[in-house]
């Protein structure tokens, strides 16, 4: 019979284990380890009891996860002591310390174990002692893990970074918006685990779901569905219209508030694509979004992002004979934001390992649920659209061709233009180790118009005829913008029609300005002009619009976007020309100044200011501030009332630095007329 140890107490060695497993940023007193990597537990024996002798003492360790753990599903594993641990499965070894009163047990988890919350028990000849609970995460540091990433700099950025940049605007004016992922904040780890436990697959078969959590592909897909609330009481409700009963999507500056609200009271109102993506990226803590799962994730913005509603890999814009747009289901978003995650794809083949795109914004259903991905970037780039999951939809988002059609009164469709290059531009993410924008368009597709890109498109859409590329057109229509277009000012834009043919051209000339949402949905008109023009050979004609503050401010959204559309129509010759451009109005700048040096556990002070550029009063003005280790774990809102035209909004905020090292202070300004103005500064907290 084996010797039974008389255990007085045990120690999970939380501080040292968490440090070696890169989870020490989670300040909670709990053991958080990564799979495929050893951790140590100390068993303290009662004074005077028999010492541990490897040759005479043996015990079994049991780890269990989920509400109904089973050996058959791998949610319950029993393993004994060996001379040393192995890195391919659950294993353990033990040694005596010099005093003989402490047994150090080294446990190595399987690199293929399900992630989640575990219990740990030691069994000595039927005498069981519960040693506690621990959380197991994916491990980007373990070569045998499906999410292994070689570069330490990239692991720091894509797994551990608590701040990021979400790029928004238009491809002509790209602006980074700061975001606080806050994956190591109080309670976030448990909330991310709760998200997994609330998904319908867990409710249907908890053990099967927990077992499947060994696979980052599965976890990514579950999170893609659970970040939106369309099918499953997930985290966020989407809203692309007027907000009357919740938080406007542009007001959020971090994930922590959203996740805590969901944990307390269910789906949070409201989000749009960048909010869905950023919250998903915070999910990495435990599951497959950065902190929650520790799968490497990054936030990606696609400018000129197509929404192909009928899966023909083309965006068809319809117009009537007068050049007015006919609403349809196809659309091109000014920008769209999703997430990429790093993992192997044994279901597709090793050539499809690496970055995978998934999208938690509810757009179309996939296998009956509002989710999207993960789809291999390699599959998207090469047009391999039979590869799981949702590759055709994502391919169209970055590489659909655009066709402009006029519907004649007899129903005939006449092609008036289009572009193979306007979709999928300046695909962007935050650069490793800096706040600069990194262009990753080449990861998704070959250079636009190149032989490789056209071959891929032809392979992806072999059933559609490729558009013809002609020579330089004889008639050209383009839109010219003013140099300064700051919100609050009046400015002029012009449509220019050039006739390079040998004949005089006569046509109707229409130029319209409309408000537009970032997802491409047109709003109300804020300016228009029309004329019948005669353009001799070699000459040009201009049609200009004076866009006045009084006309556009009441119709534009908080994204400050205006769509300009110019059309020339010659009905006799069926000759149509079109030019379109979306402009984003410049916003005022928030100035942030640290009054005194930030030191840990000493109050700091920051001064904030913003000049009101509008010719009228701003009401309900406020600054909201957030920063990991700077604001006591939650955002601070400072309400400052009204600010007159061309006057400054000012505020001071007291900071509470609690963690040494680099951090980021995020600031959002909000009011009744100017919304979602954001800025940030880097802060170094010293001892």
Residue 187 — left, alpha, or beta (φ > 0 → left; ψ -120 to 50 → alpha)?
left
Give me the torsion for CA of 169, 338, 663, 649, rounded to 10°.
30
Sheet with 7-11, edge to edge strand ranges: 7-11, 38-45, 102-108, 91-96
Which tokens hold the place of 433?
């180790």
Q: What is the pLDDT, as a whole number, of residue 462?
A: 54
Tell me the angle at which helices 451-460 and 391-399 cross, rounded to the nearest 10 degrees.
140
Residue 271 contacts residue 239 (beta carbons within 8 Å): yes
Q: Which residue's entry shows tokens 């057109």?
A: 473
- Mean pLDDT in residue range 624-629: 92
In this predicted structure, the answer to whether residue 483 has a pLDDT above a threshold of 90 is no
Q: List CB contacts of 577: < 8 A, sequence separation 6 or more.
A: 416, 417, 475, 476, 477, 497, 567, 568
Secondary structure letter of residue 352 according to DSSP: G
Give the separation between CA 162 and CA 182, rounded to whole angstroms: 5
pLDDT of 22 over the 80 cut: yes
Asked whether the predicted pLDDT for residue 666 surpasses 70, the reply is yes
Report cis status (omega within 30 of 0) of the bond before 374.
Answer: yes
Q: What's the CA gap between 96 and 253, in Å, rounded?
A: 51
pLDDT of residue 661 exceeding 70? yes
Q: Which of 218-232, 441-455, 562-576 has the highest mean pLDDT?
A: 218-232
216 within 8 A of 146, measured Cβ to Cβ? yes
Q: For residue 1, is pLDDT > 70?
A: no
Is 670 a residue whose pLDDT tops 90? Answer: yes
Distance between first and last Cα of the chain: 56
pLDDT at 652 > cutoff 50: yes
Q: What pLDDT sits at residue 167?
A: 97
pLDDT digits (tens, 9 = 90+) for 538-560: 899 999 999 999 999 999 998 99
144: helix, strand or coil? coil
Query: Mean pLDDT, to the nearest integer, of 435-443?
Result: 96
Confidence category of residue 328, pLDDT binned at 50, 70, 90: confident
Q: Are 514 and 580 in contact (CB under 8 A)?
A: no
- 651 vs 609: CA distance, rounded Å: 7
Convert the pLDDT of each residue in 572-618 to its tens digit: 777 889 999 999 999 999 999 999 888 988 989 999 999 999 999 99
* pLDDT, position 98: 78
181, 290 in Cβ contact below 8 A? yes
Angle at which helix 216-226 crosses helix 188-197, to 10 degrees, equals 90
Number of residues in the chain: 687
DSSP structure class, residue 184: T
pLDDT score, position 592:
97
Instruction: Supply the pTM of this predicted model.
Output: 0.90
pLDDT per residue over 366-419, tens digit each? 999 999 999 999 999 999 999 999 999 999 999 999 999 988 888 888 888 888
Question: Do 252 and 290 form a contact (C-beta atoms < 8 A)?
Answer: no
Kindly give, in sequence order, each residue whose CB lies less than 8 Å from that of residue 647, ignoring residues fewer than 6 positions away: 611, 612
Q: Among candidates 126, 113, 130, 129, which has minimal Cα distance to 66?
A: 113
Residue 450 has pLDDT above 90, yes or no: no
Taking 90 as the threshold, does the pLDDT of residue 322 lie above it? no
- Residue 28 pLDDT grade (very low, low, confident, very high; cuts 50, 70, 90): confident
Three-state SS letters, 242-298: CCCCCCCHHHCCECHHHHHHHHHHCCEEEECHHHHHHHHHHCCECCCCHHHHCCCEE
Confidence class of residue 286 from pLDDT cuts 50, 70 and 90? very low
CA 618 from chain centre, in angstroms, equals 32
Rounded Cα distance, 600 and 598, in Å: 7
Of 224, 476, 508, the closest CA to residue 358 belongs to: 224
Q: How far apart are CA 144 and CA 114, in angstroms?
A: 14
Report the C-alpha gap between 66 and 127 in whole angstroms.
23
Model pLDDT, residue 469: 36
CA count, 13 A, side-chain hemisphere, 423: 29
Burial class, 377, CB count within 10 angstroms (exposed 0-12 / middle 13-18 / buried 19+): buried
pLDDT of 3 above 90? no
Q: Which residues are catalytic?
A: 273, 336, 359
Q: In this model, does residue 290 exceed pLDDT 50?
A: no
Cα dihedral across residues 429, 431, 434, 437: positive or negative: negative
When pLDDT is averaged across residues 503-508 and rounded to a whole number, the result is: 91
């Amino acid at each position: 019979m084996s010797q039974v140890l008389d255990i007085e107490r045990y120690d999970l060695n939380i501080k040292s284990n968490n440090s070696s497993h890169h989870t020490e940023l989670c300040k909670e007193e709990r053991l958080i380890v990564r799979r495929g990597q050893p951790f140590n537990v100390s068993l303290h024996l009662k004074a005077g009891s028999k010492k541990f002798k490897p040759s005479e003492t043996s015990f079994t360790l049991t780890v269990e996860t989920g509400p109904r753990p089973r050996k058959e599903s791998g949610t319950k594993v029993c393993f004994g002591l060996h001379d040393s641990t192995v890195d391919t499965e659950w294993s353990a070894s033990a040694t005596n310390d010099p005093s003989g009163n402490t047994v150090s047990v080294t446990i190595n988890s399987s690199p293929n174990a399900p992630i989640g919350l575990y219990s740990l028990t030691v069994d000595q000849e039927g005498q069981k002692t519960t040693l506690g609970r621990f959380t197991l995460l994916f491990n980007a540091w373990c070569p045998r893990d499906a999410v292994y990433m070689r570069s330490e700099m990239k692991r720091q950025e894509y797994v551990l970074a608590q701040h990021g940049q979400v790029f928004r605007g238009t491809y002509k004016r790209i602006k980074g918006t700061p975001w606080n992922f806050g994956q190591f904040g109080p309670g976030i780890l448990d909330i991310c685990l709760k998200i997994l436990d609330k998904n319908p697959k867990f409710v249907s078969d908890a053990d099967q779901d927990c077992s499947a959590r060994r696979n980052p592909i599965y976890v990514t897909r579950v999170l893609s569905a659970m970040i939106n609330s369309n099918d499953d009481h997930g985290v966020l409700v989407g809203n692309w219209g007027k907000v009357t009963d919740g938080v406007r999507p542009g007001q959020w500056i971090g994930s922590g508030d959203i996740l805590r609200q969901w944990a307390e009271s269910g789906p949070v109102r409201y989000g749009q694509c960048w909010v869905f993506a950023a919250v998903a990226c915070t999910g990495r803590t435990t599951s497959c979004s950065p902190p929650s799962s520790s799968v490497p994730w990054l936030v990606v913005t696609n400018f000129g992002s197509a929404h192909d509603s009928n899966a023909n890999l083309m965006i068809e814009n319809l117009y009537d004979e007068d050049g007015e747009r006919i609403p349809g289901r196809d659309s091109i978003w000014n920008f769209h934001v999703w997430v990429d995650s790093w993992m192997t794809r044994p279901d597709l083949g090793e050539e499809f390992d690496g970055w995978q795109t998934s999208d938690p914004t509810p757009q179309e259903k996939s296998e009956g649920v509002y989710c999207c991905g993960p789809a291999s970037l390699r599959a998207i780039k090469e047009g391999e659209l039979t590869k799981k999951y949702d590759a055709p939809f994502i391919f169209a988002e970055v590489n659909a061709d655009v066709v402009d059609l006029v519907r004649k009164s007899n129903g005939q469709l006449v092609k008036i233009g289009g572009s193979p290059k306007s979709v999928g531009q300046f695909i962007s993410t935050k650069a490793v180790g800096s706040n600069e924008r990194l262009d990753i368009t080449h990861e998704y597709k070959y250079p636009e118009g190149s032989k490789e890109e056209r071959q891929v498109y032809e392979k992806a859409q072999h059933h559609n005829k490729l558009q013809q590329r002609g020579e330089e057109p004889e008639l050209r229509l383009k839109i010219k913008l003013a140099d300064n277009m700051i919100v609050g000012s009046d400015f002029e834009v012009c449509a220019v029609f050039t006739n390079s043919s040998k004949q005089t051209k006569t046509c109707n000339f229409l130029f319209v300005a409309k408000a537009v949402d970032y997802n491409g949905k047109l709003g109300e008109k804020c300016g228009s002009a029309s004329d019948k023009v005669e353009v001799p050979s070699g000459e040009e004609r201009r049609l200009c619009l004076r866009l006045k503050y009084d006309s556009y401010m009441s119709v534009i959204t908080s994204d400050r976007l205006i769509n300009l559309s110019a059309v020339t129509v010659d009905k006799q010759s069926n000759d149509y020309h079109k030019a379109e451009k979306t402009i984003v109005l410049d916003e005022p700048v928030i100035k942030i100044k640290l009054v005194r040096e930030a030191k840990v556990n000493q109050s700091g002070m920051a001064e904030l200011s913003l000049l009101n550029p509008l010719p009228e009063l701003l009401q309900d003005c406020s600054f909201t501030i957030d920063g990991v280790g700077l604001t006591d774990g939650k955002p601070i809102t400072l309400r400052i009332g009204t600010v007159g035209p061309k006057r400054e909004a000012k505020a001071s905020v007291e900071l509470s630095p609690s963690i040494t090292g680099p951090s980021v202070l995020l600031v959002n300004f909000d009011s009744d007329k100017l919304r979602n103005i954001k800025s940030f500064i880097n802060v170094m907290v010293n001892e």
